[in-house]
Amino acid sequence: MIGDKNMAEMKRIIATVKGKVQRVGYRDWIDEIASSSGIKGFVENLGDKSVRVVAEGETQKLKNFIEFLYARDHPLIKVLNIDLEWEESRDEFEYFEIKYGEFKQEAFERIGDAAVYLRGMMKKQDKMLDKQDESLDKQDKMLDKQDKMLDKQDETIEILKDVKEDTGQIKQDTALISSIKEDTGVMRNSLKSLEEIHKETIELHHKYDKLEKDVELIKDKLSIP
């Protein structure tokens, strides 16, 4: 009963895969996945640039295997469409294999595979170089900004030097003003002294006038001509 159940779970799929699937390592991709999944059958190239996959195995394993036929994570393979047929297993395969064409055709195809792979690698390298160029451009821009900042710092230092010189001149001017203030104070004191002398002189004039009047009165009283 268990053997019958396992036989009932075995199925066969015939998949015709179209797209960019020849000369990009697609058959090797399928062979590796099928062999590691316990699936038997074969994969081969067709004349219309498509690939045919005939595979037998347990139903769930085949369903998982079909997802890998799309090769979504492969950088060179691009599957556009898969025509899929399900059949009962014929149990006619011992393992999974790649069916190759004529030797010359396969040799040229392998060379083509290598050329395509190299082109893909070159494109990746070009993209990496482009990114490196972008990084270098960014670094150049950052260096330019640093140069501008340094130039501004130099300008600021020059301004500070000018300010320092101006400050020194201001200090000198301040000292001169202080000296002028001191001289002004001395002049004020001198003016005060002059004012006091002037007052004293006026008082002396008044005293002299009074004395002269007193002398005249005395003369009158004494009848002195």
Could you report the per-residue pLDDT of 73-114, keeping only the tens digit for each?
888 999 999 999 999 999 999 999 999 987 766 665 666 566
Asked whether the beta carbons of 148 and 154 are under 8 A apart, the reply is: no
| 63 occurs within a structural domain | yes
- Regions of the chain where pLDDT drops below 70: 1-8, 104-123, 163, 190-191, 224-225
Q: What is the pLDDT of residue 5?
A: 47
Q: What is the pLDDT of residue 1?
A: 43
Does the active-site annotation cover 81?
A: no
| 17 occurs within a structural domain | yes
| 190 occurs within a structural domain | no
What's the pTM value of the predicted model, to 2 decimals? 0.48
Q: What is the pLDDT of residue 20?
A: 95
CATH number for 55 = 3.30.70.100
Q: What is the pLDDT of residue 137?
A: 74
**In this structure, how many other beta carbons lie within 10 angstroms of the beta carbon of residue 108?**
13
Q: What is the pLDDT of residue 221?
A: 78
Does the active-site annotation cover 52?
A: no
- Least Cα distance to 96 among 27, 36, 162, 42 occurs for 42
| 174 occurs within a structural domain | no
For the beta sheet containing 96-99, the strands, ordered from the edge strand earlier in sequence to the opposite edge, are 78-88, 10-20, 51-58, 40-45, 96-99
| 61 occurs within a structural domain | yes
**Residues paired with residue 54 on neighbouring β-strands, in sequence order:** 14, 42
| 1 occurs within a structural domain | no
Instruction: Tell me which residue range forms the domain holding 53.
Output: 7-99
Number of domains the chain is built from: 1
Residue listed under structure tokens 């390592």: 25
Asked whether the beta carbons of 22 and 80 are under 8 A apart, the reply is: no
The catalytic residue among 12, 23, 45, 81 is: 45
| 13 occurs within a structural domain | yes
| 57 occurs within a structural domain | yes
Whole-Å CA distances, 13 to 55, 87, 126, 139 = 5, 6, 40, 56
The catalytic residue among 6, 12, 27, 119 is: 27
